[in-house]
Homo-oligomer: A and B are copies of this chain.
């Protein structure tokens, strides 16, 4: 996809390359600075693979002090900085540019402390999402946000994108599970935001940082909430004749104030793809599937399920299937969580990530179908239906330039529909490079300028992850931002 314009490397910066690398090496010794072109290849893109650029260098610091020195050095020399966790961004949030230094946090992956009395843990942000839960599972706790990529993605990336996951309907997304941050500003200053208590002092800068896509500074440590594991959990499959009925069922469950721990939607193409891959036992004779997970004691699960079943019957549910063993439950979730990967086996796709008010679900499902059909393409819908976070996968053939363009246009139309019904362009994947130019569909000039002014407080020279989030045109100069 060559359709995205990136700023060209500045010749003067390229000339200064050796000087910059020497400076980096003076801060992080040995193999912590990567400049060999072959070794730089893994860093040229992230999970938004359509787009690639080789960075000037990659640095892998091991301490906050090193990050601080790196930021001070890059800030003083006007070198753009791209923070990187595991590089799983679907929106291009970690894609570098030729004149930039990638600061990779992968070596900073320790659990610093666990405090059960507060139900908090302090972790370095290069730790993977799943490793946080793994560290406390033996004591009956877990870290709630669970992106599908949780085996690989890092807490730092989760914070940058305010990631969610299948179970965030009940437990909230990253911002609801984050209490404190250690943040390195572009001039190397280290500030501590929030802490271990519920109400952080001062402005909610932890909240501001969460979802700021690596543009306000580099976070090195995070204080996260730990939650007790439920007594039991049971995913149940509900198959419907039509996607519309399934969508209306979700809207009714929410409207009645029932909050299952997860409520995932898959349409027919998604069911076919995921069942083919995971053999999860999904019903094949339905047009739409909801995976609804309840948790708690047996009595609690029974009571909530009874209410859900009643609503589902009002929407003519065709199949109901409870998982009867831990293995079945795992297979059900494996199918859902591998949806993106499984789709990749049968077609190229772009994965959209929009959010809508849940009451709009039936209307938006119809709209997506209409939009994608109008471009002569196919769509597989899998998403976190309970909290209105949609992931339509638009299928196309990457080797057909016309179809590629159509897929992109269809995707943009879908996101515009989300905005139109009162939702937004991003759910948990972020804006990154992918949706940068759609921001003007969501925000007017006054909104965008106010955001850019806030951004300028942290990084007035646009050195942090600069090509992302805001459209390249219409950016405030630092004099205006000030």
- Choose from B115, B207, B257 the contact partner of A228 (Cβ within 8 Å): B257
Cβ contact within 8 Å between A355 and B175 = no
Contact partners of A229 in chain B: CB under 8 A: 257
Question: Which residue of the partner chain B has the closest CB to A217?
Answer: B450
Cα of A358 to Cα of B443 in the assembled complex, Å: 40
B-binding segment of A100-108, A117-125, A267-275: A117-125
A447 on the B face (CB < 8 A)? yes
A356 on the B face (CB < 8 A)? yes
Cα of A201 to Cα of B202 in the assembled complex, Å: 23
Minimum C-beta distance from A299 to chain B (A): 5
Question: Which residue of the partner chain B has the closest CB to A187?
Answer: B446
A255 on the B face (CB < 8 A)? yes
Cβ contact within 8 Å between B207 and A119 = no
A176 on the B face (CB < 8 A)? yes
Cβ contact within 8 Å between B199 and A451 = no
Copies in the complex: 2
A293 on the B face (CB < 8 A)? no
Minimum C-beta distance from A211 to chain B (A): 6
A227 on the B face (CB < 8 A)? yes
Question: Which residue of the partner chain B has the closest CB to A175?
Answer: B204
A300 on the B face (CB < 8 A)? yes
Cβ contact within 8 Å between A258 and B228 = yes
- Choose from B205, B300, B357, B453 the contact partner of A457 (Cβ within 8 Å): B453
A189 on the B face (CB < 8 A)? yes
Cα of A219 to Cα of B228 in the assembled complex, Å: 37
Question: Which residue of the partner chain B has the closest CB to A444?
Answer: B191
A343 on the B face (CB < 8 A)? no
Cβ contact within 8 Å between A424 and B204 = no
Cβ contact within 8 Å between A454 and B451 = no
Contact partners of A202 in chain B: CB under 8 A: 439, 442-443, 447, 451
A37 on the B face (CB < 8 A)? no
A20 on the B face (CB < 8 A)? no
Contact partners of A46 in chain B: CB under 8 A: none
What is the size, in residues, of chain A's interface with B at 8 Å between Cβ atoms?
79
- Once A175-B207, A257-B227 are accepted as A-B contacts, the answer to whether A197 and B388 lie under 8 Å apart by CB is yes
- Once A117-B358, A118-B359, A204-B207 are accepted as A-B contacts, the answer to whether A197 and B423 lie under 8 Å apart by CB is yes
Cβ contact within 8 Å between B199 and A162 = yes
Cα of A191 to Cα of B443 in the assembled complex, Å: 10
Cα of A393 to Cα of B418 in the assembled complex, Å: 49
Cβ contact within 8 Å between A197 and B254 = no
| Contact string against B for A residues 181-205, beta-carbon threshold 8 Å, 1 for contact and 0 otherwise | 0000100010110011111111111
Contact partners of A283 in chain B: CB under 8 A: none
Minimum C-beta distance from A311 to chain B (A): 13
- Once A120-B357, A207-B207, A299-B300 are accepted as A-B contacts, the answer to whether A199 and B389 lie under 8 Å apart by CB is yes
Cα of A443 to Cα of B116 in the assembled complex, Å: 26
Cα of A426 to Cα of B198 in the assembled complex, Å: 11
Contact partners of A251 in chain B: CB under 8 A: 117
Cα of A443 to Cα of B200 in the assembled complex, Å: 12
Within 8 A of B (CB), among A284-320: 296-297, 299-300, 303
A208 on the B face (CB < 8 A)? yes
Contact partners of A439 in chain B: CB under 8 A: 202
Cβ contact within 8 Å between B424 and A200 = yes
Cα of A446 to Cα of B205 in the assembled complex, Å: 14
A428 on the B face (CB < 8 A)? yes
Cα of A93 to Cα of B369 in the assembled complex, Å: 51
A482 on the B face (CB < 8 A)? yes
Within 8 A of B (CB), among A411-442: 422-428, 439, 442
Q: Which 4 A-B pairs have the closest CB atoms?
A: A228-B257, A117-B359, A207-B207, A201-B424
Binding site for B on A (CB under 8 A): 115-120, 140-141, 162, 164, 172-173, 175-176, 185, 189, 191-192, 195-205, 207-208, 210-212, 226-229, 251, 254-259, 296-297, 299-300, 303, 355-359, 387-389, 422-428, 439, 442-443, 446-447, 450-451, 453-458, 482
Query: Can you list 12 A-B pairs with a CB-CB distance of less than 8 A?
Result: A140-B257, A197-B358, A197-B422, A198-B387, A199-B427, A201-B442, A204-B207, A208-B454, A227-B257, A297-B300, A299-B299, A454-B454
